[in-house]
């Protein structure tokens, strides 16, 4: 299982144009649950062979009475494995109020900000997370309910590298367990006699992911016990399709500047030479390369309608202060803080 994990990670890193794991320093996101415990065990099994330096990071969300004890248990486990341990306690309730968002979103943002802060402080190449095929299936269902389209419907990427944006820390994430089932991970821990912590909040229907996991997924698996394998196949197809389009559309994007001064233009001649799907794909690629916002399908459709019907000029807004302006010369993507 460890070798299967490293093969998958190395392939995804190579496809992303990134160095492999040999000699790398990694920061494992470690909650103490079954998935992250299995991740840490596998990473430690590989560190000698690959010459890796493994650290672990644990964020105490402060949402449950037992969270302090769980943080100490996580520290103790890491000490047994000889893994440097980093931890922090956050008041996620207070953060949700300050940020004007839900508890689930505040916890996610706080967690990724903490992980990125730790990664940078120890100069690690990646934050490795324990997302497995069950998490991938849930992500696909959640994206479907949000109205995602292809290839985003394929689910989370195995390698994520994003610059900081408003209300979001930068991210350097590697998900090496994405093709494994949870049963494989818990089975390994049981055979090794390794215990883990069960988070009682995972049963709460207050969180959307829990409702998907506990209400929807059992129904889908009852209809098709191989549902997760179908999701893995969907994921592979989406990544292949995405890479093909990235290569084909490379020359249609005119990139100028760096960082907050970056601007990307798609010329009118390039747009006229593409089908509607091609235009939407090149717009989505421009959003991705601006490293801000999210390419929502309804926004891309509205932009393409404006282009086809020559409704100039039209301006569209994405998250992270990203704007797109449709004009007779083409479409320009740029950053513009505020309204």
| Domain at 119, CATH number | 3.40.50.620
User: 196 and 331: one domain?
Assistant: no
Q: Read off the tokens for 287.
A: 């959003």
| Residue range 91-105, pLDDT digits in tens | 888 888 887 888 888
Q: Enumerate residues 6+ apart whose C-beta is below 8 A from 170.
A: 116, 162, 163, 164
Distance of alpha carbon 42 from alpha carbon 106, whole angstroms:
29
Domain count along the chain: 2
User: 258 and 211: one domain?
Assistant: no
User: 195 and 261: one domain?
Assistant: no
The least confident of 6-15, 44-53, 152-161, 200-209 is: 200-209
Sheet strands side by side (includes 314-317): 254-256, 263-267, 330-335, 322-327, 314-317
State the pLDDT confidence band at 149, using cuts at 50, 70 and 90: confident
Report angle CA 226, 228, 231 to the nearest 5 degrees: 120
Q: Is 180 helix (H, G, I), strand (E, B) or coil?
A: coil
| Cβ count near 85 (within 10 Å) | 17
User: 81 and 220: one domain?
Assistant: yes
Distance of alpha carbon 269 from alpha carbon 282, whole angstroms:
13
Cis-peptide, bond into residue 313, ω within 30° of zero: yes
User: Residue 166 above 70 pLDDT?
Assistant: no
Q: Enumerate residues 6+ apart whose C-beta is below 8 A from 2.
A: 42, 45, 46
Q: Please give the residue range of the domain that contains residue 172.
A: 2-230
For residues 252-272, average pLDDT: 90
User: 281 and 224: one domain?
Assistant: no
* Domain contains 238: no
Residue entry with tokens 């449950």: 64
Residue entry with tokens 């494989």: 184
User: Residue 21 above 70 pLDDT?
Assistant: yes
* Domain contains 146: yes
| Residue range 38-56, pLDDT digits in tens | 999 999 999 999 999 999 9
Four-point Cα dihedral 170, 176, 180, 182, nearest 10: -60
Provide the H-helix boundaries in 82-132. Answer: 92-99, 103-122
DSSP state of 207: S
């Amino acid at each position: 299982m460890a070798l299967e994990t490293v093969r998958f990670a190395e392939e995804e890193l190579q496809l992303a144009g990134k160095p492999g794991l040999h000699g790398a320093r990694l920061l494992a996101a470690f909650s103490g649950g079954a998935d992250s415990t299995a991740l840490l065990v596998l990473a430690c099994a590989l560190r000698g062979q690959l010459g890796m330096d493994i650290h672990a990071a644990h964020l105490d969300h402060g949402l449950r009475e037992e969270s302090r004890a769980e943080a100490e248990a996580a520290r103790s486990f890491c000490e047994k494995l000889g893994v440097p341990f980093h931890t922090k306690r956050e008041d996620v309730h207070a953060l949700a109020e300050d940020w004007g968002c839900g508890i689930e979103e505040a916890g996610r943002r706080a967690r990724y900000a903490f992980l990125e802060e730790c990664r940078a402080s120890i100069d690690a190449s990646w934050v490795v997370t324990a997302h497995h095929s069950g998490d991938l299936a849930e992500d696909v269902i959640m994206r479907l309910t949000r109205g995602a389209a292809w290839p985003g419907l394929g689910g989370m990427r195995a390698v994520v590298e994003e610059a900081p944006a408003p209300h979001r820390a930068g991210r350097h994430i590697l998900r090496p367990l994405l093709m494994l089932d949870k049963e494989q991970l818990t089975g390994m821990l049981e055979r090794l006699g390794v215990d883990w912590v069960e988070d009682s909040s995972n049963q709460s229907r207050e969180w959307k992911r829990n409702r998907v996991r506990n209400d929807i997924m059992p129904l889908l698996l009852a209809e098709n016990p191989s549902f997760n394998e179908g999701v893995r196949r969907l994921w592979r197809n989406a990544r292949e399709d995405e890479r093909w389009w990235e290569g084909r559309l490379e020359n249609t994007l005119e990139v100028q500047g760096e960082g907050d001064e970056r601007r990307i233009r798609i010329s009118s001649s390039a747009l006229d030479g593409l089908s509607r799907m091609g235009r939407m794909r090149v717009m989505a690629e421009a959003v991705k390369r601006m490293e801000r916002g999210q390419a929502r399908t309804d926004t891309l459709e509205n932009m393409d309608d404006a282009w086809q019907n020559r409704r100039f000029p039209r301006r569209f807004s994405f998250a992270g202060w990203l704007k797109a302006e449709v004009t007779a010369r083409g479409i320009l993507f740029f950053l513009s803080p505020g309204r």
